[in-house]
Structure 1
């Protein structure tokens, strides 16, 4: 039961495409106008999971030549109501170097630049970038200018994750927006890719017997989950847990037909 409920990574085609795009940024030659990627999708489509996988695939490591710890990918979350101070505070906290409340913007900026350079950050990943829109127009412009400044000064790529509204947030700075390649993660439809996703999840579900589903059951899963990745994982995990407890050790078409979510917001993965 613990294995069924544990968080599991399932590599499906769209996630692999996203990771392939992101990993190309690591090997890109450094320059003054570094390429960047914006990943958009509805809540629950697996953006944060992809972000975490990208970060984990490029972990910090000790460089024996310089004698320093190197961090190729640095991840942070955009604050709920961002401004320049809050942005730098979040960035410095992600670097493990929170600043004194008395530090001014210039001190925080210089500390962030120094530390990002010291640890060798090549890609700065920003989750929940749509939160930029929660700030005033002035604060939005300042945060976007800050992102462009960091990319130019340190010759690093930016990767932004957010819901569709994030397009509006990034478009507030035309020069910055031109650097971003857009990558959309759309809801699942009734196609071969959806069947591949469900098959991959089932193969990674620790039941003792194999599960083979009919097209009707696949349509039912798609209908109940509304094509949202998090809901698909949640539904299959619940069905697998019920199968283990009942002793059936496989998910049946009947179980899928009778399954109902406890609530409308039953997503288990972001």
Structure 2
């Protein structure tokens, strides 16, 4: 009787072990894939949003503004909300407010998100059309991304956005979920009504603790490495946290590029010996590890 070969790969989740039989090239490509890991870092945020999605019998809907420095995981949370919306009867409408090549006005983007043809003559009926879309599609929330880009526009457009955010939660009874950076937070706080209505959720960088250890250990279980790296060990977790500066984006990039290097070299595990070459390895595989110009944690403590 032969032993099941999969028992040699206990460090990889069972549903991902088939990937270990793929070629090195295929496994290196898999390392670039993004996926969601549930973590206490965002657990309170999702619980809060879950309660906010109940909007019946309220004069105005509850709202939340999720903000922090770049690379802190907000984009991953945005895509997670998209996944949850697609698999729930409580739907969300998603609008990205960053500059784009079409240069659509803010109101146009909102209308498009609610299935309203831009440029139509029924401007006065747009609110009625949005309300009908909300009822038919059971929409409970609107999710606004890159709020900072929209708030850095000229004063008139900025005031339009802030007014619109108030009306979405008031007139249309939609839970407004907004993502932005700390600069956007400072601007939003200038509008006393919005500042009063919105829950403020700050996305913080990783501290060295059990939540961080659990995150990198879970991430390792998804990587197509044939040997166990034990990223949760004191030496490796300290190296990852130190080199990443606790920034989520850096943490993920470090694990990705070192796993790719380990596959390419045949070592098949992430090891401390790779870290002196970390910047070169990251550049080789097309990753940039961000070094902030200011102390991110010091800035937050002043807010």
Shorter-chain TM-score tier: 0.7 to 0.9
Give the match for residue 146 of structure 2: 128
Give the match for residue 190 of structure 1: 208
When normalised by structure 1's length, the TM-score is 0.83
Single out whichever of 36-45 and 23-32 deviates more from structure 2: 23-32
Structure 1 or 2: more helix by fraction: 2
1:50 maps onto 2:43 in alignment? no
3-state secondary structure, aligned to 2:182: coil
Give the match for residue 230 of structure 1: 249
Are residues 60 and 202 of structure 1, via their aligned partners in 2, closer, same or farther at CA, if it must alter by over 3 Å? closer
Identify which of 165, 169, 172 aligns with 2:187: 169
Are residues 33 and 97 of structure 1, via their aligned partners in 2, closer, same or farther at CA, if it must alter by over 3 Å? closer
Asked whether the 8 Å contact 1:38–1:161 carries over to 2, the reply is: yes
Asked whether the 8 Å contact 2:257–2:287 carries over to 1, the reply is: no
Q: Distance in 2 between matches of 1:89 and 1:111?
A: 14
Q: Which runs of 5+ in 1 are unaligned?
A: 62-69
Higher Cα Rg, which structure: 2
Identify which of 38, 55, 58 aligns with 1:11: 38
Q: Distance in 2 between matches of 1:241 and 1:265?
A: 15
When normalised by structure 2's length, the TM-score is 0.75
Are residues 31 and 226 of structure 1, via their aligned partners in 2, closer, same or farther at CA, if it must alter by over 3 Å? same
Q: Distance in 2 between matches of 1:111 and 1:169?
A: 30
Give the match for residue 175 of structure 2: 157
Give the match for residue 239 of structure 2: 220
Deviation, structure 1 residue 54: 1.6
Identify which of 50, 61, 71 aligns with 1:34: 61
Superposition RMSD in Å: 2.5
Asked whether the 8 Å contact 1:40–1:163 carries over to 2, the reply is: yes
3-state secondary structure, aligned to 2:67: strand
Asked whether the 8 Å contact 1:41–1:184 carries over to 2, the reply is: yes
Deviation, structure 1 residue 154: 1.8
Are residues 59 and 252 of structure 1, via their aligned partners in 2, closer, same or farther at CA, if it must alter by over 3 Å? same
Give the match for residue 67 of structure 1: none
Q: Which runs of 5+ in 2 are unaligned?
A: 1-26, 291-303
